[in-house]
Amino acid sequence: MSDEFIKIATEEINEEISELDKLLSTCQNDANIFSSADKFQQHTHKIKGLSPMMGKEELDSFSAILDSLLKKMIGGMTINGIFNDMRDSVSLMKQSMSEPDCDLAEIKSRISKSLNNLK
């Protein structure tokens, strides 16, 4: 990918993460996350699409799992503790964009566990 493409994709991912953060700031609990799951999922879906094109494989795999979990919520599934998981997820996604060695393994494991418990 060209440097220009990577620059634009990076800006777009940062904007999507910023929008997730703004949306999260309107939430106070699991019920708020549940009622806004479709809005959260729109942003995670875009991140999932852009991150592999710019070599952000860990962010890609994490956003794919988070995207799947949000789709389950849109379908009516509820998840205890999703507010805290989303708060941590958005924070670490932000961090992963500025720190190449940011480790998403722990949050990825938590989200995967929640997703697997729904199946």
For the stretch 63-106, pLDDT in tens is 999 999 999 999 999 999 999 999 999 999 999 999 988 999 99
What distance in Å separates the CA atoms of residue 94 and residue 17, rounded to the nearest whole number?
A: 6
What distance in Å separates the CA atoms of residue 12 and residue 2, rounded to the nearest whole number?
A: 15
What distance in Å separates the CA atoms of residue 77 and residue 70, rounded to the nearest whole number?
A: 9
What distance in Å separates the CA atoms of residue 36 and residue 66, rounded to the nearest whole number?
A: 14
Alpha carbon distances (Å) from 25 to 31, 47, 111: 14, 19, 20
Name which CATH class applies to 3-118.
Answer: mainly alpha
pTM reported for the whole predicted model: 0.92
* Cα atoms in the Cβ-side hemisphere of radius 13 Å centred on 115: 16
The percent of residues in the chain predicted with pLDDT above 90, rounded, is 81
- Kindly report the average pLDDT of the chain as a whole number: 94
Structure-block tokens of residue 71: 């789709």
